[in-house]
Amino acid sequence: MKFLSVISLCFLLCLCVHSVLSQNANTPPRGWNSYDSFSWIITEEQYLQNAQIISDQLLSQYGYEYAVVDYLWYRSLSGGSNSRGNDCIDEWGRMHPDAKRWPSSVGWNGFKNVADKVHGMGLKFGIHLMAGISTQAYDANTPILDTTTGKAYEESGKVWHAKDIGIPERACKWMDKGFMALNVTSGAGKAFLKSLYQLYTSWGLDFVKLDCVFGEDLDFDEITYVSQILKDNKSPIVFSLSPGVGATPDMAKKINGVVNTYRVTGDDWDQWSQVVSHFDVARDFAAANLIGAQGLNGKSWPDLDMLPFGWLTDPADNEGPHRLTNLNLVEQQTQMTLWCMAKSPIIYGGDLRNLDSWTKDGVIINPTLLFINSNSSNNTEACESFLLLLGRIFFSSIVAEGSSNGIRAWIATGNNGGQTPQGRISTLLFSI
């Protein structure tokens, strides 16, 4: 089998001076996330080393600006990725970084020092959170902090605890020992969420990836309430939902206005079949006009997931990173082309300390693709027979005889950073 991606473009650039509205996630967020290379076991040192490389090599010219710590930063390495009772929680049932892995958090400092360092590098700081309440807080039946009084939350003459708001029958399906949904319609449930986000935003967050809350795990109440809390934060916070197993455009239309990105597939790993499966999904969300639709304090973007290139680990692995991506260069270029053309967030997943030049120069800093990712509109899969025919003529030697879905074409308009459209970009994505 062989795979190709071919791009053809023609556009004129308007050189007039303009001011871009300052909005949250005005273009698809771009950065790095620790999951594909470290699963959950990353340490402060490894994280800061990666952040420094983003800052040195990918920030100013290429716009990679978010450095996101993925899940279980609060779990001791003696626990597993779905274990009970191995987390660091405070007296109010809130997660704090595991101090063995995150030494600067000692003394309940949280991620404050790490966020300060990341901001000092010119980057934006992000963390992953699980929806609901932790099983450990539920088991310990911790009281709930009332942020308006600084004391335990009281209502109807009683002090409320974790067991009054946790819903054990709704454990997170893929981490049933770790988290369960909470009752967001109760005053105590709302108070708990406020107490969580008051703590986390005090660390200096710019990006929150909230997990076990979208697709099959949809919790509309929690998404809406968290969004309301984040909306009023003094600096903008990008609000990202995941995962997207079973997500549909209709579901997305109910929440896109209160978030900035939402995953539209399950986890994407480095298998060609998984890349291929994103073509139809990307087409459907584009056709529903969801790319760049209204979002929280700005815009929203269907998220095709991180890019599993370079030096990686495996899902839920307690070791790593320890292997190279399974995708060859052309497969990676095809994936990057679709992600950019569909205006997905561009979040690199490989360990940057082992970033090789063909991944960097050949894929993730391609200026044309990055331009399209930021500066195009009306992005859509094209079924114009003319484009497909053109593809067949150009690539007749490699298109399999009689192959019906060997060629996928996408088109978009170049918009030069939001100004009057100045031309047309067309991309042919090509897979056989």
Interacting residues toward ligand NAG by CB under 6 A: 63, 167, 183, 185-186, 370-371, 374-375, 377-378, 413, 415-417, 421
Whose Cβ is closer to ligand NAG: residue 30's or residue 101's?
A: 30
Whose Cβ is closer to ligand NAG: residue 19's or residue 397's?
A: 19
Contacts of 211 (CB under 8 A, 6+ apart): 71, 128, 129, 130, 131, 242, 243
The residue nearest ligand NAG at its CB is 417
Whose Cβ is closer to ligand NAG: residue 91's or residue 384's?
A: 384
Least separation in angstroms between residue 377's CB and ligand NAG is 4
Least separation in angstroms between residue 193's CB and ligand NAG is 13
Whose Cβ is closer to ligand NAG: residue 103's or residue 417's?
A: 417
Answer whether 190's CB lies under 8 Å from 226's CB: no
CA distance linking residue 408 with residue 388, whole number of Å = 7
Beta partners for residue 129, in sequence order: 210
Least separation in angstroms between residue 403's CB and ligand NAG is 30
CA distance linking residue 156 with residue 246, whole number of Å = 40
Whose Cβ is closer to ligand NAG: residue 169's or residue 401's?
A: 169
Q: Take residue 258 and report the two structure tokens written for it.
A: 């209160």
Least separation in angstroms between residue 417's CB and ligand NAG is 3
Whose Cβ is closer to ligand NAG: residue 227's or residue 415's?
A: 415
Answer whether 6's CB lies under 8 Å from 42's CB: no
Any idea which residue has 């890019």 for tokens? 307
CA distance linking residue 6 with residue 356, whole number of Å = 23
Whose Cβ is closer to ligand NAG: residue 9's or residue 77's?
A: 9
Least separation in angstroms between residue 416's CB and ligand NAG is 5
Least separation in angstroms between residue 43's CB and ligand NAG is 32
- The radius of gyration of the chain's CA atoms, rounded to the nearest angstrom, is 22
Contacts of 288 (CB under 8 A, 6+ apart): 249, 252, 253
Least separation in angstroms between residue 424's CB and ligand NAG is 9
Least separation in angstroms between residue 404's CB and ligand NAG is 27
Whose Cβ is closer to ligand NAG: residue 54's or residue 69's?
A: 54
Q: Take residue 299 and report the two structure tokens written for it.
A: 């815009």
Give the E-state strand segments of 57-100 in sequence order. 66-69
Residue 371's alpha-carbon distances to 19, 51, 125, 421, in angstroms, are: 17, 23, 23, 14
Whose Cβ is closer to ligand NAG: residue 115's or residue 286's?
A: 286
CA distance linking residue 307 with residue 311, whole number of Å = 11
Answer whether 124's CB lies under 8 Å from 345's CB: no
Beta partners for residue 32, in sequence order: 67, 348
Least separation in angstroms between residue 352's CB and ligand NAG is 19
CA distance linking residue 200 with residue 130, whole number of Å = 13
